[in-house]
Amino acid sequence: MTTASVCTIGDEILIGQIVDTNSSAIARALGRIGVQVTRMVSIGDRREDILDTLSRELKLADIVITTGGLGPTKDDITKAALAELSGSHAYVEHPGQLEMVYEILHSRGLDVLDINRAQALVPETCEVIVNHRGTAPIMVFRMGKATLYAMPGVPFETEAALPDVLDDISAHYPLSAISHRHLMTYGMAESALSKAIAPWEDALPADMHLAYLPNPLTGVKLRLSVYGGNPDETAARLDREVARLKALLGDVIYAEGERSLEEELGRVLADNGKTLSVAESCTGGEIAHLITGVPGSSRYFLGSVTSYAIPVKEKVLGVPDTIIRDKGVVSAEVAEAMAEGVLRLTGSDYAVATTGLAGPGGDGVYPDGTVWVAVCSKTDKKSRLFQYHNDRKRNIQRFSASALYFLLTFVNSELSR
Amino acid sequence: MTTASVCTIGDEILIGQIVDTNSSAIARALGRIGVQVTRMVSIGDRREDILDTLSRELKLADIVITTGGLGPTKDDITKAALAELSGSHAYVEHPGQLEMVYEILHSRGLDVLDINRAQALVPETCEVIVNHRGTAPIMVFRMGKATLYAMPGVPFETEAALPDVLDDISAHYPLSAISHRHLMTYGMAESALSKAIAPWEDALPADMHLAYLPNPLTGVKLRLSVYGGNPDETAARLDREVARLKALLGDVIYAEGERSLEEELGRVLADNGKTLSVAESCTGGEIAHLITGVPGSSRYFLGSVTSYAIPVKEKVLGVPDTIIRDKGVVSAEVAEAMAEGVLRLTGSDYAVATTGLAGPGGDGVYPDGTVWVAVCSKTDKKSRLFQYHNDRKRNIQRFSASALYFLLTFVNSELSR
């Protein structure tokens, strides 16, 4: 198997000022084309450290990908170190990248200074992949059987350039074709899921591999992969296994393909021309925030009310004070009245509401981590209790994910009637 | 200066399944006691990789901190590798950790199996720092002048055990006393800030160091540090410099101490017994989410309305349709009417509202990245235009931070009248 080492260069990572998200993004992308990351290293902007580390990593892995240290200021020295490492005697200007430097700076209303123009200069020993999102080009150094790719450190630029880097790797290394199917699940822990599908998993063909990719807050992503083989045949075989798995897990699988709960919910609502509103208490705006994070959400999302204080629940959402007094603020009845209130207020087709305790504090009845979620349409309503044991921020995230999942299954069942 | 290398062990990091947040948390903590992290390395759960990497890192740094690979299942092999590396011939049971194993499992209603009990077994060559949040102890290997600390990989356990590890480091390495002051700024880029305070910074005493810790979305944190010296004298000298800096920067500094905009806003409102409500359009619930992420926010936050659709702006918030028609949805007038609407609806002392374009799409008048923010009290109102050039998610975050800052300065100026 082709192996890779991912090296991030920059003092800001070593002092803990920023969390390195590039390495995991690169590792996931490499995994998808069948390249295995065996090491990740972070070092500072010091010449000897860069030279020592990169020469060692080039011996240990087939591919070395660096990020960072390519900025125009003098503390960024990766390019000079790579020139030295590759035995370059001169810099050459790359016309394609120079054009991008002008385009990017002009679009920001800035003049192009010498320091900017120098970004398009690269050691004569490298090839260039043009960076369309930033001024520093991606440099490709072919060093015997190993290749070094130097990428910028800005995550948005790294991400945009990754497909080109993957193409270059695919063109130069003997990778098996790899086919994937992703299934998004919610509501079952990894261990329970694994137990539930064990007979199916054990009977999988030897060349088919199942990976569990759990996110403790938003559910487990399942990835079914086949390396090699005829792509059409493989696709048909994967389809068959996916159908079996869906029959086994039912509603636990909420989507095929890599898609969040809010994205899948948005797709269903938009495809069916339906609208949504939200009433939040303990989730404090997080559900609306997740929904509106999806581009195009204005097609189906009308609005939300965060009724943190009791008078807002009564006055804005019309929750009867008798229900609050008799059942308590954290109750199925209040959640349902909130959902119906915001549905009435906005005229949406569906609504979801939360009332619970994110903590710390408790209400003397329920423990922290308790939430009542209600969903409703113009003709039906449902409510359900969820309980978690996390800190405030995680409880809010889990409450929100539970509410989105509960709503999605409700909408799907209403639409399939 | 004492140096450290941070090594994370675990396949889940190398396949990009999780983002490593432990390393940056450890680096920040070490920085605070004056230890410099020079390298970070991630490797998989393979014996040779662990042995090779750790023996090398122990030569390069004074302190090596590992996280991960200490679980009870057979894929976790860090403990066995450390026994081998340190020349241990036997495992011994640590009574304090064994007690924690029983306590933790019983509190979850679980029986203690052999596999759990084995968690309290450690190589005879190490000392133990008890892990109070999990079953795997922190192991301390003193290897000549270098020390290796093996910590668990669960962030919540690592974080809880860090103070004990820092104490041990402080007891065994000659670290200077270190004093810090943090100042939170908003609204000036690092370069502009640096230019504005250059004369003051240049005149700082030689033993006083200023660090810029920028977060592109929420502002630049300034850290003023002194290593060594008499603590009382140092404190007085730091106070003097902080006072000078505050005089220079005025409102740009929104808080002393490490505190987010929403935390500082909450503190001011709670201290003065004032309440707040929010009306959001393009920020879609993010402002309410940030405010309610602060424990105790129910003391001052009454609620919010996310009026994504125009009829919700009109019907719920009472924004006159004539204003929307004449001025456009993205306008100072609509932002102000939204703020006044939610203030009236909830009866709060203050309100903030946003209307803008997070993108993609644009409205033909303003470009994506434009937001009008309005703030109001019962007697006054103000509005301001902000423009950014990010993608949807970042625009939403920057809009929200701008709104919180604008609101905070408004509240402060009202309260100081």
Predicted pLDDT of residue A338: 98
Is A316 within 8 Å of B295 when comparing Cβ atoms?
no
Q: What is the pLDDT of residue A230?
A: 84
B310 class by beta-carbon count within 10 Å (0-12 exposed, 13-18 middle, 19+ buried): middle
- Predicted pLDDT at A178: 79
Q: What pLDDT is stored for residue A182 in this prediction?
A: 93
Would the pLDDT of A189 be above 90? no
Tens digit of each residue's pLDDT (9 = 90 or more) over A66-112: 999 998 777 789 999 999 999 999 999 999 999 999 998 887 777 88
Determine, for residues A292 and B389 on separate chains, whether the beta-carbon distance falls below 8 Å: no
Region A133-152: mean pLDDT is: 95
In this complex, do A303 and B307 lie within 8 Å of one another by their Cβ atoms? yes
Residue at token pair 């630029």: A157
Domains of chain B, first to last: 3-172 (3.40.980.10), 178-256 (3.30.70.2860), 261-415 (3.90.950.20)
DSSP state of B153: S
Range in A289-293, A331-335, B23-27, B193-197 with the lowest mean pLDDT: B193-197
The burial of B155, by beta-carbon neighbours within 10 Å (0-12 exposed, 13-18 middle, 19 or more buried), is given as middle
What is the model's pLDDT at position A106? 86
pLDDT at res. B352? 98
Tokens of B279: 């009306």
Name the residue facing B16 among A13, A27, A345 (closest C-beta).
A27
A12 versus B328: the higher-pLDDT residue is: B328
What is the model's pLDDT at position B113? 86
Q: Is the pLDDT of residue A374 over 80?
A: yes
What is the average pLDDT across A293-313? 95
Give the closest of A25, A292, A302 to B285, CB-based: A292
* Residues of A with Cβ-Cβ distance to B29 under 8 angstroms: 16
Q: Do A14 and B21 touch (CB under 8 A)?
A: no
Whether the per-residue pLDDT at A389 is higher than 90: the answer is no
Using alpha carbons, list the distances in angstroms from residue B59 to A23, A119, B82, B145. Answer: 25, 36, 15, 10
Q: Smallest CA–CA separation between A18 and chain B, in Å?
A: 7
Per DSSP, the three-state class of B296 is coil
* Whether the predicted pLDDT of A228 surpasses 80: no
Out of B17, B39, B295, the one facing A360 most closely (by C-beta) is: B295
Show the tokens assigned to B83.
């026994």
The answer on pLDDT for A139 being more than 90 is: yes
Q: Hey, of B312, B355, B363, B368, which one would you mutate to test binding to chain A, going by the most A CBs within 10 A of its CB?
A: B312
**Ranges of chain B whose pLDDT falls below 70:** 216
Choose the mutation target among A9, A13, A15, A392 for the interface with B, i.e. most B CBs under 10 Å: A15
Q: What is the pLDDT of residue B155?
A: 87
pLDDT tens, residue by residue, A354-372: 999 999 887 778 889 999 9
Say yes or no for a CB contact (<8 Å) between A311 and B347: yes
Is A24 in contact with B17 (Cβ distance < 8 A)? yes
CA-CA distance, A183 to A245, in Å (whole number)? 9
State the complex-level ipTM: 0.81
Cα–Cα distance measured from residue B9 to residue B49, given in angstroms and rounded to the nearest whole number: 10
What is the sign, positive or negative, of the torsion defined by CA atoms of A405, A194, B16, B70? positive
- pTM value is 0.83
In this predicted structure, the answer to whether residue A214 has a pLDDT above a threshold of 90 is no
How far apart CA B148 and CA B78 sit, in angstroms, is: 12
Predicted pLDDT at A160: 92
Q: Which long-range contacts (CB under 8 A, 24 or more apart) does B69-74 make?
A: B69/B9, B69/B10, B69/B45, B69/B153, B70/B136, B70/B150, B70/B151, B70/B152, B70/B153, B71/B136, B71/B153, B72/B115, B72/B116, B72/B118, B72/B119, B72/B135, B72/B136, B73/B115
pLDDT computed for residue A195 by the predictor: 85
Evaluate if residue A215 carries a pLDDT over 80: no
With pLDDT > 70 as the criterion, what percentage of chain A qualifies?
Answer: 100
Residue A21 has pLDDT above 80, yes or no: yes
Closest-CA residue of B relative to A396 is B293
Predicted pLDDT of residue B111: 84
Q: Which residue of B has its CA nearest to A24?
A: B16
Q: What is residue B150's predicted lDDT score, i.e. its pLDDT?
A: 98
pLDDT of A130 higher than 90: yes
Residues of chain B with Cβ-Cβ distance to A278 below 8 Å are: 285, 306
Cβ neighbours around B365 below 10 Å, total: 11
pLDDT at A168: 97
Check CB contact under 8 Å for B298 and A309. Answer: yes
